[in-house]
Structure 1
Amino acid sequence: MTRINMGESVRARLLNITKQTKSLDFQIVLMRFMLERLLYRMGQSNYSQQFLLKGAMLFALWYNMPHRTTIDMDLLAFGDNDLLIMKKTFQEIVKIPFEDGVLF
């Protein structure tokens, strides 16, 4: 039995979505998927209550059709937002394993 390459499988599905919609650029679809997977990991982490999502990405989640395409994510951090602490926090978040084909 051959093992499925999850990353390649996800990429192919996202490429199909891009081809079907014809209005979205593959890079934008890929970036949104990656940001959503980061949000998922943040939600599963011990830091889930430390961040608040804001900006265009939040609107994209509220409405079926986003007001504008976004390739970034705006977060409000609660607590100490020292650069080294934030770096350590996100290093822990991106290490959370999940079978979604995403490796940070």
Structure 2
Amino acid sequence: MNQNLSVREQLTYLINKEGISLEKLTDLYIREGLVDRFSRSNLNQKYVMKGASVFQILAGKAHRPTKDIDFLGFGTNNPQQLKEEFSEIIKIPLNDGLRFSDISASILQAGQKYEGVRLDIKGNLEDVPIKG
């Protein structure tokens, strides 16, 4: 059976059942795929997930609209190291139809006391490009 087709069929079913837009459901599916890979990685004790995505997972619905996943890390805030670590996370194979291919890293709030790092992750679900 074509796993990607099965995933698309399941997403279509949920769109019809729950009245959720394709874009919103696809975004949620992609984020859940990343979180699933993260939870299976050997780095799952180094980072704590925070923000609106946590409420969405715990409550089963969005606390507020979000298109990202926020993590608090322990240790370095080096963009290259984070890119390398999350490159390993996205390589974890799952039978979910998602394939992640590229990561870019950039500093957020440069020069501030608490700088952050943004990771942009690209990939696809079947033949539809995604950016997480």
Distance 1:85 1:21 in 2: 40
Structure 1 residue aligned with 2:47: 51
Listed as ranges, the gaps of 5+ residues in structure 1 are none
Q: How many residues align?
A: 100
Deviation at 1:81? 2.0
Select the structure that is richer in helix: 1
Q: Is 1:7 the counterpart of 2:4 in the alignment?
A: yes
Aligned to 1:48, the other structure's residue is in SS state coil
Listed as ranges, the gaps of 5+ residues in structure 2 are: 101-132
Cα offsets for 1:6-29 (capped at 9, x unmatched): 12211221121011111x211111
Q: So what's the TM-score if we normalise by structure 1? A: 0.88
Would the aligned equivalents of 1:28 and 1:70 in 2 still touch at CA under 8 Å?
A: no
3-state secondary structure, aligned to 1:99: coil
Residue 18 in 1 paired to residue 11 in 2? no
The structure with more strand, counted as a fraction of residues? 2
Q: CA RMSD in A?
A: 1.2
State the structure with bigger RCO (CA 8 A, min sep 6), 1 or 2. Answer: 1
Identity %: 34
Q: Secondary structure at the match of 1:7?
A: helix
